[in-house]
Amino acid sequence: MNNLAINSITPYTLEAYSGIPSAIVWFSTCNLKCQICDNPSLLKKKGTMKISEVISYLKTQQEKLKGIVLSGGEATISRQVIMLCNGIKELGFLVKLETNGTNPKVLQYLIDKKLINYVSLDFKANQENYVKITGSKKSFYLNTLKSFKLLNRSKIDFEVKTTLHGNLLHNKELLEIIKLFTKLKYQGHYYIQALDGVNVELDKEELIAEGKKSNIIVAFKNI
Ligand code: SF4
């Protein structure tokens, strides 16, 4: 059995964590099967690195880096994420977690123990389309909602994003998501993004205007 959760490390980027010089630690595998996945190759790959190897490497990068981004795949499905965050924090780095939100318990633990500084929550879809889009089950939508609520209650900095899935997410569904965030009193950024090669026409003004009603800043990437 392969117990290694980490697939690889991107040694340096200014793109992934608000301009902070960072490395990205890529987790293998995911508990969702999204129709459009930003990292499909990682889903099939097995981990290749021990946590101790990752930490030893990052120790050599302390002068160059300020942040570490945990991405994947899905980091929170591995218990190793806690061990990794402990090690990273001991080295004094900021930590950004990119997550699909399906493990609110792990997320809560990481926040409570101050093991992460920033969260990017991938809110995959409105309730009706969640199962279709993620190839998973309804309980995962409810878990993601729990994650959203706990982030919103906590003092941690976070953002929410949705990746467009061609004919399944249009203005109607995105408006529904924004209205849900409004009902839950969210005030912050909501990014709507398209992956390369996915063409979707949106009425951006309508979405921006809906967000403005309650201080949700709707922004677009690659659209
Ligand atoms: S949650 Fe992310 S990594 Fe997992 S299948 Fe969906 S897009 Fe891919």
Given a contact cutoff of 8 angstroms between Cβ atoms, the answer to whether 155 and 101 are in contact is: no
* Range in 17-26, 158-167, 206-215 with the lowest mean pLDDT: 158-167
Provide the residue ranges of all domains of the chain, joining segments of one domain with +.
6-221
- Atom 3 (ligand 1): residue with closest C-alpha? 73
Atom of ligand 1 nearest to the CA of 163: 7
Q: Which position has the higher pLDDT, 12 or 47?
A: 12
- Which residues have any ligand 1 atom within 6 Å of their CB? 30, 32-34, 37-39, 72-74, 100
| Rounded distance from Cα 37 to ligand 1 centre (Å) | 5
Dihedral (CA of 74, 79, 83, 86) sign: positive
Determine the Cα–Cα distance for residues 49 and 5; give it in Å rounded to an integer: 7
The pTM score is 0.95
| Rounded distance from Cα 176 to ligand 1 centre (Å) | 22
- Average pLDDT value for residue range 11-15: 98
- Beta strand 217-221 with 189-193 is parallel
Q: Which residues of 25-57 are buried (b: 16+ CB within 10 A; e: fewer)?
A: bbbbbbbbebeebeeeebbeeebebebeebbee
Confidence tier at 1 by pLDDT (50, 70, 90): very low
- Atom 7 (ligand 1): residue with closest C-alpha? 37
Residue with tokens 């490395």: 23
Of 7, 26, 27, 30, best ligand 1 pocket probe by most atoms within 8 Å of the beta carbon:
30
Q: What is the pLDDT of residues 92-128, one digit of tens each?
A: 999 999 999 999 999 999 999 999 999 999 999 999 9
- Average pLDDT value for residue range 169-182: 96
What dotted CATH number matches 6-221? 3.20.20.70
